[in-house]
């Protein structure tokens, strides 16, 4: 049985000693990032790298708690997939891919259970869900109700960093779900960072080719059970439904509910849902943004998301992640997804060559990409005061940008700035 929702995962993390509650008030503008950096640099339970997941109970300026670093270690990714080792998931996927074309009746009969199992993971439509406990429409919509992060000093603003963006292919009606950052412009407007090769961007282009003055519906879910949440970053072929794959991963169909103001369906167990549209003739400057590489991505022109309706649970948990110089949470997500999906990725990318699983402790800390003074077991755990104390001073002491200001210097050629030295 998969996790029912994000909060069940939170309970599991807590039971496993993988979650720390932060009771002090911490500002989502820059301070949370500082605290997450400290947490990431500490040893998690059993001395493993990646620290602990953090539940900020009192993010400044919001009534809602903020969950972060929930997937920021190999162990937490194993817990997310409910396995002892990531290879178990890879083996399940390989099992399906290895299915040969049946040669005779006996072969066909042998395949039936597997095919039936696959079919049982199709998403299921339901009439209602906890994501609709509270509904705000029109002028009631205010994205600043949520503790949305500004991670780095030179970021263009606050960004939703862990969204599941739902669109439909305007020609085939096929759903796409992707994780694309969203810069907050005001209470009801955000950027939509669809990189040109991504499926969301493809839907936008196809629709625009038909009707340049039109709009497409877009809905965004924030915080669902782990397999559904990770559905937005799965490297699966374009014609496969991410929600079917999430169902496969959680061994139970994802329940989807129709939105209030458009025809898209979103996970019924989501914590928060934003409903709206993207105009096909509207672009706006997005960025800069401290990115996965440890460098700022520069400003660019991207589509704009208009939010018409927000639905959420009575007590929603806002899920976020810090994107920045590795190792951040996304490093562990990427590592796990790559291990799990290698068999599938090899089908579509023949140039991918498998490398053997690294020995325990070797990874995920390759010297060439990780700022890796974090050696298993060498970091002591510390109490909340150590974790939070002085996090705001770091920035207040120097309006030029805090500890990442050194790192926010422009590098050679003035093209990019590093997040820290």
Ligand X SMILES: Cc1cc2nc3c(=O)[nH]c(=O)nc-3n(C[C@H](O)[C@H](O)[C@H](O)COP(=O)(O)O)c2cc1C
List residues near ligand X by CB under 6 A. 161, 176, 178-181, 193-195, 198-200, 232-233, 235, 321, 323, 330, 333
Handedness of CA 225, 229, 230, 231 (dihedral sign): positive
β-strand partners of 25? 58
For ligand X, which is the closer residue by CB, 130 or 232?
232
Smallest gap from Cβ 331 to ligand X, in A, equals 10
Closest contact distance (angstroms) between CB of 105 and ligand X is: 39
Closest approach, Cβ 330 to ligand X, in A, equals 5
> Judged by CB, which is closer to ligand X: 139, or 197?
197
Cis peptide preceding 91, ω within 30 of 0 = no
**With contact defined as beta carbons under 8 Å apart, do 98 and 107 qualify?**
no
Beta bridge partners of 289: 297
How many CB atoms sit inside 10 A of residue 158's CB? 21
364 cis-preceded (ω within 30 degrees of 0) = yes
Place of tokens 């599941």: 164
User: Which of 375-408 are b and which e, b meaning 16 or more Cβ less than 10 Å from the residue's Cβ?
Assistant: eeeebebeeeeebbeebbebbeeeeebbbbbebb
Output the smallest distance, CB 345 to ligand X, in A. Answer: 11
Q: Which is nearer to ligand X, 290 or 402 (CB)?
A: 290
What's the min distance (Å) between Cβ of 339 and ligand X?
15
10 Å Cβ neighbour count for 174?
15
User: Which of 331, 403, 334 minimizes the C-alpha distance to 369?
Assistant: 331
- Where on the phi/psi map is residue 244: left (φ > 0), alpha (ψ -120 to 50), or beta? alpha
Would you give the DSSP letter of residue 100? P
Shortest separation between residue 235's beta carbon and ligand X, angstroms: 6
As a whole number of angstroms, the distance between CA 122 and CA 2 comes to: 14
Q: What does the angle CA 104 – CA 105 – CA 111 come to, to the nearest 5 degrees?
A: 95
Nearer to ligand X, 58 or 292 (CB): 292
Angle at 347 between CA 343 and CA 351, to 5 degrees: 95
Least spacing, CB of residue 417 vs ligand X, in Å: 18
Whole-angstrom distance, CA of residue 65 vs CA of residue 386:
20
* Closer Cβ to ligand X, 197 or 356, answer by number: 197
Give whichever of 198 and 346 is closer to ligand X, judged by the CB atom. Answer: 198
| Six token digits for residue 2 | 């998969």
Using the structure block, give the residue that is written with the tokens 């077991």. 377
Compute the distance between CA of residue 307 and CA of residue 301 in angstroms, rounded to an integer.
Answer: 19
Q: Which of 5, 27, 225, 291 is catalytic?
A: 291
By beta-carbon proximity to ligand X, the closer residue of 43 and 165 is 165
> Which is closer to ligand X, CB of 43 or CB of 54?
54
Min dist CB 388 to ligand X, Å, is 23
Q: Are 261 and 137 in contact (CB under 8 A)?
A: yes
291 belongs to the catalytic site = yes
Phi, psi (rounded to 5 degrees) for 189: -135, 135
User: Any idea which residues carry the catalytic annotation?
Assistant: 291
């Amino acid at each position: 049985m998969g996790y029912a929702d994000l909060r069940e995962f939170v309970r599991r993390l807590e039971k496993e000693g993988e979650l720390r509650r932060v009771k002090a008030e911490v500002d989502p503008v820059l301070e949370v990032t500082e605290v997450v950096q400290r947490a990431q640099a500490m040893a998690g339970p059993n001395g493993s790298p990646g620290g602990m997941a953090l539940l900020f109970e009192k993010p400044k300026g919001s009534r809602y708690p903020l969950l972060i670093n929930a997937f920021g270690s190999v162990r937490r990714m194993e817990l997310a997939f409910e396995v002892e080792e990531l290879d178990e998931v890879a083996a399940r996927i390989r099992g399906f891919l290895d299915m040969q074309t049946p040669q005779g009746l006996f072969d066909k009969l042998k395949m039936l259970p597997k095919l039936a199992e696959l079919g049982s993971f199709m998403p299921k439509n339901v009439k209602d869900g906890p994501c609709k406990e509270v509904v705000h429409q029109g002028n009631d919509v205010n994205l600043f109700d949520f503790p949305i992060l500004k991670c780095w000093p030179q970021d263009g603003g606050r960004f939703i960093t862990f969204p599941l963006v739902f669109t439909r292919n305007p020609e085939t009606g096929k759903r796409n779900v992707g994780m694309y950052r969203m810069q907050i412009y005001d209470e009801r407007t955000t950027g939509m960072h669809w990189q040109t090769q991504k499926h969301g961007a493809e839907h936008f282009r196809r629709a625009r080719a038909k009707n340049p003055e039109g709009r497409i519906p877009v809905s965004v879910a924030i915080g669902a059970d782990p397999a559904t949440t990770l559905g937005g970053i799965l490297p699966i072929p374009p014609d496969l439904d991410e929600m079917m794959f999430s169902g496969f991963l959680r061994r139970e169909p994802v329940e989807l509910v129709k939105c209030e103001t458009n025809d898209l369906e979103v996970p019924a167990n989501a914590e928060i849902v934003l409903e709206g549209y993207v105009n096909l003739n509207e672009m706006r400057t997005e960025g800069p943004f401290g990115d996965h590489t440890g460098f700022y991505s520069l400003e660019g022109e991207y589509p704009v998301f208009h939010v018409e309706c927000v639905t959420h649970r009575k007590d929603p948990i806002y899920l976020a992640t810090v994107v920045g110089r590795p190792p951040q949470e996304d490093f562990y997500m990427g590592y796990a997804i790559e291990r799990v999906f290698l068999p599938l990725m090899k089908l579509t990318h023949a140039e991918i060559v498998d490398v053997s699983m690294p020995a325990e402790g070797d990874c995920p800390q390759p010297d060439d990409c990780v700022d890796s003074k974090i050696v298993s077991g060498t970091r002591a755990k510390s109490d909340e005061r150590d974790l939070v104390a002085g996090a705001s001073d770091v920035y207040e002491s120097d309006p030029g940008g805090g500890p990442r200001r050194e790192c926010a210097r422009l590098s050679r050629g003035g093209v990019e700035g590093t997040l820290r030295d």
